[in-house]
Amino acid sequence: MTGSPAPTLRQGFAALTSERANGDGSGMRVAFVGKGGSGKSAIAGTFARALARRGEPVLTIDSDPMPGLAFSLGLEVVEDAVLDDAVVERQEGEEGPRFRLRPGLTVGEAIERYAAVGPDGVRFLQFGKLRGHVAPLIRSQMAFREITHGLPPNGRWNVVGDLPGGTRQPFAGWGDYAHTFIIVVEPSAKSLLAARRLANLARRGARPTRVVGIANKVSDAGDTDLVRERCGLDVIASIPWDEALAEAERHARAPIDYAPESPAVTAVEKLVARLIEEG
Amino acid sequence: MKLAVVGKGGSGKTTTAAVIARTLARRGMTVVALDCDTNPNLGISLGVGDEETERLIAMRQALDEGQEEHTPTWDELVDRFGSDAPDGVRLAVVTRIENPEPG
């Protein structure tokens, strides 16, 4: 995405499909992807909190079977309401998907009911975490997909998704709610390679999607250029290497609570402010 | 011995696996390094470089797409679809990255 001026996050989808009117009050829809450990959860959590502090309704979506985003948002690990009773299973002889939302339960109601309320009013939707066995998660995962797929395209929610590291999930139906994929890249060969693969997969996908990058853990003047050049990405923010973030992770605290004045948190807040202005 | 290195993303699995593989090889053992990550990066940490890592993945992809005439044996796979890394480590990519199964 180089050459022409980048569309804003809300324009991105409209520009590509002409289906969305800009400035219609609909929320932005972003999903953070990237190599494991690149800082997706820390940035997504801080991004969501900063957005909420500006008065925007924010729904965060965590499809990682390992805990992460909850910490970065400042939530305790949420164990309850893992969606199992949000869906009913197809009866023998019935048509359609194996699980669908319980009759009478709308997507909006499901969010109100199942998405935990975090600091600054951020809502948090997950499907439960792995505990040694995969089977019990399937029902919850199907409910999760019913809800995320059913989000109205021009809804008022700002949606901030945090996807698991690597290339497995993002383009296999788990990030379909996103209008913009934000690839978090740190200046390492492995992270750059993963980002390049993700960018290629996103561009090859069936849905029109905007793909941008965030250079994270930047400590050298050339780091951001490296991300831009090696991944062919429009880099919308550079987040400096910040020991305070590592400290926050050690203590399982949200960066925005633990180190609100830190350079990394400030950089994410600036990005949010800019996106809202462009909105 | 057969070792598998697991852990959270970014915790250092790939780096650790590569150092173990090369250390064993330097002590004279025959080592096959298998990249089972859906985002295969082991080649980079073993020292074969970006391009060779991507080439191995493309070959792994060709296998699934039916461009191979018969199902090869394990030895054949490692032999034909592997790559020589420093210290005599033989690297092969097990996973594919495109059209992965959901979840």
* Contacting residues for A70 by C-beta, under 8 A, at least 6 apart: A62, A76, A77, A78, A124, A126
Contact between chains at B102 and A193 (C-beta distance less than 8 A): no
pLDDT tens sequence across A37-81 = 999 999 999 999 999 999 999 999 999 877 789 999 999 766 655
Residue A79: per-residue pLDDT: 63
- Domain ranges across chain B: 13-93
CB-CB neighbors (< 8 A) of A38 in chain B: 10
Looking at the predicted structure, is the pLDDT value of residue B17 above 90? yes
| Over residues B52-58, mean pLDDT | 88
In terms of CA atoms, which chain A residue is nearest residue B102? A172
pLDDT band of B68, cuts 50, 70, 90: low
Residue A153: per-residue pLDDT: 78
Inform me whether the C-beta atom of residue A35 falls under 8 Å from chain B C-beta atoms.
Answer: yes
* Block residue for tokens 């295969």: B40
Distance from CA of B88 to the nearest CA of A (A): 22
Residue A132: per-residue pLDDT: 57
Position A271, amino acid: L
- Choices 3.30.530.50, 3.40.50.150, 3.40.50.880, 3.40.50.300: CATH for A9-77+115-135+157-278: 3.40.50.300
Distance separating alpha carbons of residues A231 and A194, to the nearest angstrom: 9
Residue A80: per-residue pLDDT: 57
Contact between chains at B100 and A172 (C-beta distance less than 8 A): yes
pLDDT band of B102, cuts 50, 70, 90: very low
What would the two tokens of residue B65 be?
A: 């797409």
Give strand pairing partners of A237. Answer: A214
The tens place of each residue's pLDDT in chain A, 279 residues long, gives 334 444 444 443 333 333 333 356 789 999 999 999 999 999 999 999 999 999 999 999 999 877 789 999 999 766 655 788 888 988 888 888 888 899 999 998 999 988 999 999 999 998 877 665 555 678 888 889 899 989 987 888 899 999 988 877 777 788 889 999 999 999 999 999 999 999 988 888 777 789 999 999 999 989 999 999 999 999 999 999 999 999 999 999 999 999 999 999 999 999 999 999 887
Contact between chains at A36 and B10 (C-beta distance less than 8 A): yes
Inform me whether the C-beta atom of residue A22 falls under 8 Å from chain B C-beta atoms.
Answer: no
Inform me whether the C-beta atom of residue A270 falls under 8 Å from chain B C-beta atoms.
Answer: no
Q: Taking the mean position of all CA atoms in its chain, how far away is CA A6? A: 20
pTM of the entire predicted model? 0.84
pLDDT band of B103, cuts 50, 70, 90: very low
pLDDT tens sequence across B25-49 = 999 999 999 999 888 999 999 999 9
Give the DSSP H or E segment for A197.
Answer: helix A189-204
Best to test chain A binding among B14, B97, B99, B101 (most A CBs inside 10 Å): B97
Give strand pairing partners of B90. Answer: B32, B84
